[in-house]
């Protein structure tokens, strides 16, 4: 019984070895050191820094000390961590077919079900094509679609009094409205304030538990509290409500003339199943909502700490956008300094900071092996590789000695994006590149311009400590947010 199994194992190791030799692979010599059996001390130290809310800064020290590639032993299994642009390009693009999401599917399944974010291979390709059509359709939409929501945001801020205001929760409410409007055909807020809060509280809670499950990787099944199951059920009930409403409206009145429910109806035409439509919608919601809110929050967080950049951006906006005019795509396209500011924020706080892929067949990483750390490394099927865009974006070898500083000017006609190539990828690259990139940048630009126009005195409140970028407290879930919010004075 065992013999054929042993034989096939021996055979596959031999085949792996041949593959490695053929490609000149050498073992990776840089390792994450550990002292305890199963490397449990590494887990313990990460666990110990959690309360300080500076986990990414803590991990930076490993990369600074060991280098961009390291071998990690955990529970007796080999894994790797990388911030090396060559390796990340290989995983996401040149060897895309050799990698899968690994335990992410199981970790996210209770909330997301069958959707683009939990799928690999052929089902993913299908979802990708289906959703890509939606993003092509909205690509040139008038940014006026954000008007109602930005007005609500500004009215909320205007009513908030003269003291210190934390913008972050307002921005999360804003992107909840814009994203649900995009996918459901109406903002979830149309249900009324109480129901909107129920939806967003359950969605936030379910997302935060999902983030913990992601970190548990193969052990995600250990953590499925009752409250989590309930929260996932609430999110699904709401999403289902919008799906059935759209289907009923179409049945009664025919396809709606203004195309408000196009997202749902087009998905339904293909999937033929309301539950599958619902799941795809929740997948887009989790991809688009917190990420864009965090981008906006970090941008303003950084601007109020760098008054010269804020001043320059204000002058640009005043020169390009007459205050009485509607804000258009053409205006936004002309605001080149805003693009530098957004790129610089995406560099320092890529909203999906760390990620993982697992090899689905024998493959290689092109860099990190041998004594010089530049040879390819053989990767056996089933091996996990963690990659950190967050740490890559702070490498001095890519961005120079001021890599840790906020300096939007570094993007200004310097050819930086050409020079760093795969060293800058807040939206990833390759076949799984973010589908919502254009939508997110338009939404963030629109919101930031309107906020700066409405509040010309927006600034950092006196007495707030200015920590070095990356040393502040962070709330690390699936996304990275500021744990102290984005506190400002508006007037």
Residue numbers at the binding site for ligand NAG (CB under 6 A): 204, 208, 336, 339-340, 343, 411, 417, 424, 475, 477, 483
Q: Kindly indicate which of the ranges 62-70, 299-307, 324-332, 429-437 contains the residues binding ligand HEM, using the contact rule CB under 6 A.
A: 429-437
Q: Would you say 439 and 135 are in contact if contact means Cβ atoms under 8 Å apart?
A: yes
Tally: H helices and E strands in the chain: 19, 11
Q: Considering beta carbons, is residue 52 or 336 the nearer one to ligand NAG?
A: 336
How far, in Å, CA of 422 to CA of 93, rounded?
10
The helix/strand/coil state of 476 is: strand
Q: Considering beta carbons, is residue 166 or 186 the nearer one to ligand NAG?
A: 166
300 binds ligand HEM (CB under 6 A): no
State the Rg of the chain over Cα: 24
**Residue holding tokens 């149309």?**
190
**What is the torsion angle, in degrees rounded to the nearest 10, for the CA atoms of residue 288, residue 293, residue 298 and residue 300?**
130
The nearest distance, CB 300 to ligand HEM, in angstroms, is 14
User: Exactly one of 288, 353, 366, 369 binds ligand HEM (CB under 6 A); which one?
Assistant: 288
Q: What does 12 bind: ligand NAG, ligand HEM, none (CB cut-off 5 to 8 Å by kind)? A: none
The nearest distance, CB 38 to ligand HEM, in angstroms, is 27
The nearest distance, CB 426 to ligand HEM, in angstroms, is 5
**What is the torsion angle, in degrees rounded to the nearest 10, for the CA atoms of residue 213, residue 215, residue 216 and residue 221?**
20
**CA 63 to mean position of chain CA atoms:** 21
Q: What does 340 bind: ligand NAG, ligand HEM, none (CB cut-off 5 to 8 Å by kind)? A: ligand NAG
H/E element holding 327?
none
User: Exactly one of 23, 105, 126, 128 binds ligand HEM (CB under 6 A); which one?
Assistant: 128
Number of residues that bind ligand HEM (CB under 6 A): 24
Q: What does 131 bind: ligand HEM, ligand NAG, none (CB cut-off 5 to 8 Å by kind)? A: ligand HEM
User: Exactly one of 436, 447, 470, 485 binds ligand HEM (CB under 6 A); which one?
Assistant: 436
The helix/strand/coil state of 461 is: coil
* Torsion sign, CA atoms 137, 142, 148, 149: positive
Q: What does 388 bind: ligand HEM, ligand NAG, none (CB cut-off 5 to 8 Å by kind)? A: none
User: Exactly one of 60, 90, 210, 351 binds ligand HEM (CB under 6 A); which one?
Assistant: 351
Q: What does 446 bind: ligand HEM, ligand NAG, none (CB cut-off 5 to 8 Å by kind)? A: none
Q: Take residue 47 and report the two structure tokens written for it.
A: 């666990």
Decide: residue 130, CB within 10 A, 0-12 exposed, 13-18 middle, 19+ buried.
middle
Q: Considering beta carbons, is residue 444 or 490 the nearer one to ligand HEM?
A: 444
Q: Kindly indicate which of the ranges 25-33, 261-269, 290-298, 401-409 contains the residues binding ligand HEM, using the contact rule CB under 6 A.
A: 290-298
Q: Kindly indicate which of the ranges 40-48, 146-154, 165-173, 284-292 contains the residues binding ligand HEM, using the contact rule CB under 6 A.
A: 284-292
User: What phi-psi label fits residue 445: left (phi over 0), alpha (psi between -120 and 50 degrees) or beta?
Assistant: alpha
355 binds ligand HEM (CB under 6 A): yes
**CA 58 to mean position of chain CA atoms:** 20
How far, in Å, CA of 471 to CA of 469, rounded?
6
Which x/- pattern, by CB under 6 A, does the window 156-195 give for ligand HEM?
-----------------------x--x-------------
**CA 472 to mean position of chain CA atoms:** 19
The helix/strand/coil state of 72 is: strand
Q: According to the 3-state scheme, what is the secondary structure of 139-157?
A: CCCCHHHHHHHHHHHHHHH
Q: What does 299 bind: ligand NAG, ligand HEM, none (CB cut-off 5 to 8 Å by kind)? A: none
Footprint of ligand HEM on this chain (CB under 6 A)?
Answer: 116-117, 128, 131, 179, 182, 284, 287-288, 291-292, 295, 351-352, 355, 426-428, 432, 434-436, 439-440
């Amino acid at each position: 019984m065992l013999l054929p199994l042993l034989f096939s194992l021996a055979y596959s190791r031999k085949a792996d070895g041949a593959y490695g030799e053929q490609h000149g692979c050498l073992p990776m010599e840089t390792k994450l050191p550990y002292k305890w059996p199963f490397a449990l001390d590494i887990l313990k130290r990460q666990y110990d820094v959690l309360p300080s809310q500076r986990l990414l800064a803590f991990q930076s020290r490993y990369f600074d000390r060991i280098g961009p590639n390291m071998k990690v032993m955990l529970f007796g299994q080999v894994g790797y961590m990388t911030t090396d642009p060559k390796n990340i390009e290989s995983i996401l693009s040149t060897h895309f077919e050799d990698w899968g999401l690994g335990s992410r599917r199981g970790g996210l399944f209770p909330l997301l079900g069958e959707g683009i974010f939990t799928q690999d291979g052929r089902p993913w390709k299908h979802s990708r094509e289906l959703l890509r059509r939606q993003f092509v359709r909205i690509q040139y939409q008038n940014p006026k679609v954000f008007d109602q929501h930005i007005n609500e945001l500004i009215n909320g801020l205007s009513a908030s009094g003269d003291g210190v205001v934390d913008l972050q929760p307002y921005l999360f409410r804003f992107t909840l409205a814009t994203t649900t409007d995009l996918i459901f055909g109406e903002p979830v807020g149309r249900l009324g304030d109480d129901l909107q809060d129920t939806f967003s509280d359950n969605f936030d809670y379910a997302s935060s538990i999902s983030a913990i499950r992601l970190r548990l990787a193969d052990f995600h099944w250990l953590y499925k509290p009752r409250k989590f199951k309930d929260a996932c059920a609430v999110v699904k009930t709401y999403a289902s409500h919008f799906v059935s409403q759209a289907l009923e409206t179409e049945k009664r009145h025919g396809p709606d003339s203004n195309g408000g429910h196009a997202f749902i109806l087009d998905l339904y035409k293909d999937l033929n199943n309301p539950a599958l439509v619902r799941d795809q919608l929740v997948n887009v919601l989790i991809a688009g909502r917190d990420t864009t809110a965090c981008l906006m929050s970090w941008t303003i967080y950084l601007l109020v700490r760098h008054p010269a950049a804020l001043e320059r951006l204000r002058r640009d906006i005043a020169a390009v956008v007459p205050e009485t005019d509607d804000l258009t795509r053409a205006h936004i396209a002309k605001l080149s300094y805003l693009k530098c500011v957004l790129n610089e924020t995406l560099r320092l706080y890529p909203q999906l900071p760390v990620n993982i892929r697992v090899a689905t067949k024998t493959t290689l990483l092109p860099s990190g092996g041998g004594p010089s750390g530049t040879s390819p490394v053989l990767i056996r099927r089933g091996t996990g590789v963690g990659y950190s865009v967050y740490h890559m974006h702070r490498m001095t070898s890519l961005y120079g000695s001021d890599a840790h500083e906020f300096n939007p000017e570094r993007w200004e006609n310097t050819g930086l994006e050409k020079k760093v190539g795969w060293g800058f990828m807040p939206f990833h690259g390759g076949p799984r590149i973010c589908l919502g990139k254009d939508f997110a940048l338009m939404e963030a630009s629109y919101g930031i311009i309107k906020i700066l126009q409405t509040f010309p005195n927006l600034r950092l409140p006196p007495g707030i400590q200015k920590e070095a970028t990356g040393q502040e407290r962070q709330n690390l879930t699936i996304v990275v947010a500021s744990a102290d919010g984005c506190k400002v004075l508006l007037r």
